[in-house]
Amino acid sequence: MKSAALILAPLDSAVTQRRHSLRPRGWWLVPVLAAALLAVLVAALSIGALPIAPASVVTALANAVGFETAWAVSEREALVIAHIRAPRAIMGALAGAALAIGGVLMQALFRNPLADPALVGVSSGAAVAAAAVTVIGSTFFVDLGWSSPFVLPAAAFVGGWLTVLLTLRLARSAGQTRIEQVLLAGIAINALAGAAIGLLMLIADDAQLREVAFWSFGSLGRANWPSIAWLAVALLPALVLYRLVAPWLNALLLGEGEAALLGVPVERVKRGAIIVTCLAVGATVAFTGLIGFVGLVAPHIVRLLAGPDHRVLLPAAGLLGAVLLPLADLFARTVAAPVELPIGLVTALLGAPFFLFLLLRERREIPR
């Protein structure tokens, strides 16, 4: 919070607005991260358990969009590039962006840098639904087997949403969504969801138990083009609306009362941010399972580098999430090949120490 003038720039007069909003602090981070994203995507396409020569990678990509090259590529290699690596890389980027943007929105709403979309129950609701499908559903869906890959994501998405709507309903009184109430209702709902998962795990057999455990560690292994299309649609509102809500979120940092005085439609921003977040994060969780730390670490790193202005924070954190997750996935699928590590394990394993490092550094910088 360097200066109120900067943060509130878009609400100022037209003249100052133009001067400030052209170059918000840390704007350079956005093109840098976009370049990094490109580099990570190239790496994610080139490296994997199956060794494929760079020339074959280029050829496979060129063939996929209808061009020819001088090199040859085997059918299997082309398929690995176009239907296994490419969807994983893109799904990773979309999921990382969704988690990071969700993190930023929740942190602005709760005015707490540790806030997370999980607070409103979207992840735990999805987890209950996923566990229910795995443990109980196998009795009903037994014949669907691997012919119906959409049962689990659909159930997880609906489960996440029902939980969020319940949380919002509980926190709404007299036309007002009170953020402390959202937090408290979220905690209660999360506890309830934890109990439900515990109950399901009690009656699960060994194989189902392992499946629930794997789901809760997250994986991009289920990525394919249809699921990417769904995820992109769910992420669209966040991408379209961020420029509109960024100045409002800046104003919200001052407090809800102050923001309202500045003309921010506080109630609509609050509900809108939660809904946009849960749309993106709900779809992500549905397809990937639980992936922790990206939503926490990505916004935090951007804040350290570029400050808290949401006009930079939102796109930069989204891009950083889109860089970090495919990178973590690259690590997860190559380090122990042909076995794959759960990606949530990798993000926690690398993210948690890094986060602690950031916290310690920050503490040292604050004068006592």
Partner 1 sequence: MKIRKWMVVVGAAGCALSVSAQTRVVCLGGAITETAWALGAGETVVAVDDSSVYPSENRALPRVGYYRMVSAEGLLSVNPDLVLAHEQSGPPEVMEQLAAAGVRVVRIPSSATVTGLLDRVRSVGAALGRREQAEAIAASLETTLAEVAAAVVEPRPRVVFVFARGAGTLQVSGAGTAADEIIRLAGGVNAIEGFSGYRPLTAEALVAANPEVILATTSGLGSIGGPDALWAVPGVAATKAGEARRVVAMDDLYLLGFGPRLPAAIAELREALIP
Stretch of 98-106, 259-267, 299-307, 335-343 lying at the interface with partner 1 (CB under 8 A): 335-343
Q: Which residues pair with 176 in a beta bridge?
A: 173
Q: Kindly state whether residue 211 participates in binding partner 1, applying the rule CB under 8 A.
A: yes
Is 79 or 359 the residue whose CB approaches partner 1 more closely? 79
* Tokens matching residue 69: 């090259």
Instruction: Decide if residue 76 touches partner 1 (CB under 8 A).
Output: yes
Q: How far is the CB of 141 from partner 1 (least distance, A)?
A: 11
Nearest-approach distance from CB 38 to partner 1, in angstroms: 22
Q: Please count the residues of this chain forming the interface with partner 1, following the rule CB under 8 A.
A: 37
Which CB sits closer to partner 1, 103 or 218?
218
CB neighbourhood size of 112 (10 A) = 13
Of the two residues 51 and 257, which places its CB atom closer to partner 1 in the complex?
51
Half-sphere exposure of 54 (CA within 13 A, CB side): 2
**How are beta strands 176-177 and 172-173 bridged, if at all?**
antiparallel
Strand-pair partners of 172:
177
Smallest distance from partner 1 to CB 353, Å: 26
Q: Which of 2, 23, 169, 210 binds partner 1 (CB under 8 A)?
A: 210
Query: Is there binding between residue 48 and partner 1 (CB under 8 A)?
Result: yes
CA distances, 129 to each of 71, 158, 217, 284 (Å) = 47, 8, 15, 14
**Minimum distance, C-beta of residue 287 to partner 1, in the bound complex (Å):** 10
Q: What does the alpha-carbon distance between residue 55 and residue 70 come to, in Å, rounded to a whole number?
A: 9
**Residue of the chain from 115, 118, 204, 313 that contacts partner 1 (CB under 8 A):** 204
**Distance between CA 196 and CA 269 in Å, rounded?**
32
* DSSP H/E element including 184: helix 179-203
Q: How far apart are CA 311 and CA 38, in angstroms?
A: 22
Query: How far is 280 from 276, CA to CA, in rounded Å?
Result: 6
> Smallest distance from the beta carbon of 235 to partner 1, in angstroms?
20
Which residues contact partner 1 by CB under 8 A?
Answer: 48-51, 74-76, 79-80, 83-85, 145-149, 202-207, 210-211, 214, 219, 221-224, 227, 333, 337-340
